[in-house]
Structure 1
Amino acid sequence: MILKHQKHLFNIEDHITYLNTASLSPSFKAVEQAGIDAVLQKSQPYTIPSSDFFDPVTELKGLFAQLIDVDESERIASIPSVSYGIATVTNNIKLNSGDEIVIIEEQFPSNYYAWKKLADTYDAKLITVANPNLKAHNAKQWNQDLLDHITNKTAVVALGNIHWSNGTIFDLKAIRAKTRKYDALLIVDGSQTIGAFPFSVKEIQPDALICAGYKWLFGPYGCGYAYYSSYFDDGEPIENNWANRLHSEKLSDLTNYESQYKPFANRFAVGESGNFIYVKMQIEALKQVIDWTPKAIQDYCKSISYEAVEELTGLGFQIEHADYRTHHLFGAKLPEHINIKDLKTVLQEQNIFLSFRGSYIRISCHLFNTKSDFDTLVNAIKSIL
């Protein structure tokens, strides 16, 4: 599938250059309308049938399962955040003293704090694999260093599919193979890839995949998704809500208290997961992303950005080789001759939105962007040289 830009599906003004989906996505017009319709329906609660606590959630989980290549949608849980999903994981892991948890340098905080606490609880070690910071072949070396740190002491490897600030791709297939060798868990944060970069649970076989829903999945802020493998089938949720219990669909019998949870990942869903507003917005968003396909999105982002990448490299920016990073999100390390304050000023003046991450600018694009957006960015940078 070859995609053309889809700006007509969004409400982004023409004078705005938005290259910051990695921080917060804009809504499709269809998602916006679904939210409005749901808000209006809440004003007349008698129009909301009891089935709306469950049926839309079932549809939503089926869509997410399709997106990540999972046959059993009951292995998907609706969650409010990545930190919630990771907390559920760590709540169901026991370690031995001296065990090691492997993460990468400057991992997103929500995928760090929980592992630090788990390591401290069991007198285990948190092993951070540093960014080599090489001028060439950095991602290749970083991946090798990561594999070298997976040993017979490793109990868990927890990381994103890519680095959230620069787009470096981590070879999850190789990592999964190494963790299998030592019977270690692989926990993946897909927040910056799922929806825009191809991913298959069948291929990677992670023990858990946790994903924010408000970035590349275009849902409202405060929604997320989690996939839990069979390792967690008998796990303990971090909360006890009525909807996670067996037979909870029978609302008239709710006080016949049930000791058993629903099977698979259903037990881990957040309370009020049947959110009438969020779920309807999420469904519209996932339908569109699935229709586009992550591969076609990735190809489109490459097509509109590659010339700008060449120009930025020529201006002294350091950008990872295209084979080792994603195209919807990538970092450009600032050369010494560019003043960050001057750059921030010109970007603000010209309504160009992206993120600063240390010595990098993080550029993230989607189908509402065009090559002209990258031309605008490059020209803005040239104006301060």
Structure 2
Amino acid sequence: MTIKNQRNLFDIPEDIAYLNTASLSPSFLSIEEAGIEAIKEKSRPYVIPSSDFFEPVSQLKKQFADIIGADDHNRIASLPSVSYGLANVANNVTLKSTDEILVIDEQFPSNYYIWKRLVETYGASVKVIHQPEDRDNCGQLWNEAILEAINENTALVAMGQIHWANGIIFNLKAIREKTRKHDALLIVDGSQSIGALPFSVKEIQPDALVCAGYKWLFGPYGCAYGYYGPYFDDGVPIEENWSNRLYSENLAGLTDYQPQYKPLASRYNVGENGSFIYVRMQSEALRQVAQFPPDIIQEYCDSISTSAIEELVNLGFYVHKLETRAKHLFGVEIPQDLNIEALKQELAKAKIYVSFRGRYMRLSCHLFNTKHDFNRLVETVKSIMTPA
């Protein structure tokens, strides 16, 4: 299956090179339309049935379950953020003072602070697995270091499927196997991969997966998803909201207080998870995402970026080996003698949008991008490297 450029599905002007989906995705035009229609309905609340508090949310969970290969949508929770989903995890984990929580070097803050707080509560410790200095063998050596670090003291491993700044892919299957040998939990942050890189909960079997919805899943900012495995089936959520209780669909009987939660991960849903506007937009976003298989997205992104990467490498930049990194998101290490601030200014003038993480220029692309976007990036870089 070959996918052609899909820029026509977005409202992105031709003079814009947007290579920053890893920060915030643009909306499909259909998502914008869905949101506008939902806003109009809110102006006429009498047309919104009470079933809209529940049925669209259930459908949304089914859509996300399909994307990650989960059989039961009741294992999916509707969340406002990754940090919220991780807080529910931490709320149901107890540690011993000898326990360690393993994280990756320069992990995204939301997937670090929560574990720092948890270990401080129990007098345990966070163990950081640093990125190897050998750039050419970074992917292999980093994965080996992670596997070696998992031992009898490891209580929990928290990490992404890829590194959010440079795109290095982690071998979650092997890491899962090692955590099982030591009865350690595996908590995955899929924010920079789910929707663009192949992933299956059946294959990896994480104890929990949390994922921002506004990046590669193209939803509005302020939405996220969580998958919670059997370990959390009887857990305690960080908030108590009415809609997560059994039989809450019966609005007339809400004050017949119900001690039981709805099945499995439904207890972890955020309050007001039936947000009419957000759910409508999220559902349309996942409908669009489901039309484009992640392996095809990887193939497309590779096809439009390869020649540009080769040119950047020839100019003194560094990009990790193709077989060790993602193709939709990767870091381009900037030469020491290049003025980053000057580069930022020139890219802004040229209407080229990227992210900077330390000395990495992070490039992230999707089906609306073209070879021309990357060629413009290369030409802009050349312009500041050429003596006046």
TM over 0.5: yes
Compute the displacement of 1:45 (Å): 0.2
**Paired amino acid for 1:343:** L
Compute the displacement of 1:297 (Å): 1.0
Specify the alignment match of 1:227 in structure 2: 227
**Paired amino acid for 2:65:** A
**Paired amino acid for 1:174:** A
2:378 maps to 1:378: yes
Compute the displacement of 1:125 (Å): 1.1
Specify the alignment match of 1:328 in structure 2: 328
Structure 1 segments, 4+ long, off by >6 Å, are none
Distance in 2, Cα, partners of 1:311 & 1:140: 25
SS in 1 for 2:217: coil
Distance in 1, Cα, partners of 2:306 & 2:338: 21
After alignment, is 140-149 or 83-92 more displaced?
140-149
Specify the alignment match of 2:346 in structure 1: 346
Q: Percent sequence identity over matched residues? A: 60
Distance in 2, Cα, partners of 1:151 & 1:310: 40
Which structure 2 residues correspond to residues 53-92 of structure 1 after superposition, within 5 A? 53-92=53-92
Which whole-Å deviations, capped at 9, do the CAs of 1:210-254 have from their partners, x for residues lacking one?
000000000000000000001000000000000000000111100
Distance in 2, Cα, partners of 1:59 & 1:298: 27
Which whole-Å deviations, capped at 9, do the CAs of 1:310-351 have from their partners, x for residues lacking one?
111111111110001001000010012311111011101100
Aligned pairs, how many?
Answer: 385
SS in 1 for 2:11: coil
Which whole-Å deviations, capped at 9, do the CAs of 1:154-201 have from their partners, x for residues lacking one?
000000000001100010011001101101000000000000001000
2:51 maps to 1:13: no
Distance in 1, Cα, partners of 2:295 & 2:252: 46
CA RMSD, 1 decimal: 0.6
Compute the displacement of 1:135 (Å): 2.8
Distance in 2, Cα, partners of 1:171 & 1:21: 23
Which whole-Å deviations, capped at 9, do the CAs of 1:285-304 have from their partners, x for residues lacking one?
10111111111111111111
Distance in 2, Cα, partners of 1:228 & 1:367: 30
Distance in 2, Cα, partners of 1:335 & 1:144: 28
Specify the alignment match of 1:39 in structure 2: 39
Specify the alignment match of 1:99 in structure 2: 99
2:264 maps to 1:264: yes
Which whole-Å deviations, capped at 9, do the CAs of 1:111-139 have from their partners, x for residues lacking one?
00000011111111100001113231111
SS in 1 for 2:307: helix
Specify the alignment match of 2:276 in structure 1: 276
Specify the alignment match of 2:176 in structure 1: 176
Compute the displacement of 1:41 (Å): 0.3
Distance in 1, Cα, partners of 2:378 & 2:153: 47
Distance in 2, Cα, partners of 1:190 & 1:43: 35
SS in 2 for 1:145: helix
Distance in 2, Cα, partners of 1:221 & 1:109: 17
SS in 2 for 1:326: coil
Specify the alignment match of 1:140 in structure 2: 140
**Paired amino acid for 2:278:** Y
Specify the alignment match of 2:119 in structure 1: 119
SS in 2 for 1:332: strand
Which structure 2 residues correspond to residues 244-259 of structure 1 after superposition, within 5 A? 244-259=244-259
SS in 1 for 2:83: helix
Which whole-Å deviations, capped at 9, do the CAs of 1:6-27 have from their partners, x for residues lacking one?
0000000111110000000000
Compute the displacement of 1:146 (Å): 0.9
Q: Where in structure 2 are there 5+ consecutive unaligned residues?
A: none
SS in 2 for 1:363: strand
2:185 maps to 1:185: yes
Which structure 2 residues correspond to residues 142-157 of structure 1 after superposition, within 5 A? 142-157=142-157
**Paired amino acid for 2:248:** S
Distance in 2, Cα, partners of 1:13 & 1:239: 43
Distance in 2, Cα, partners of 1:79 & 1:178: 29
Distance in 1, Cα, partners of 2:185 & 2:70: 19
SS in 2 for 1:383: helix
Distance in 1, Cα, partners of 2:157 & 2:307: 36
Specify the alignment match of 2:308 in structure 1: 308
**Paired amino acid for 1:188:** V
Distance in 2, Cα, partners of 1:333 & 1:367: 24
Specify the alignment match of 2:367 in structure 1: 367
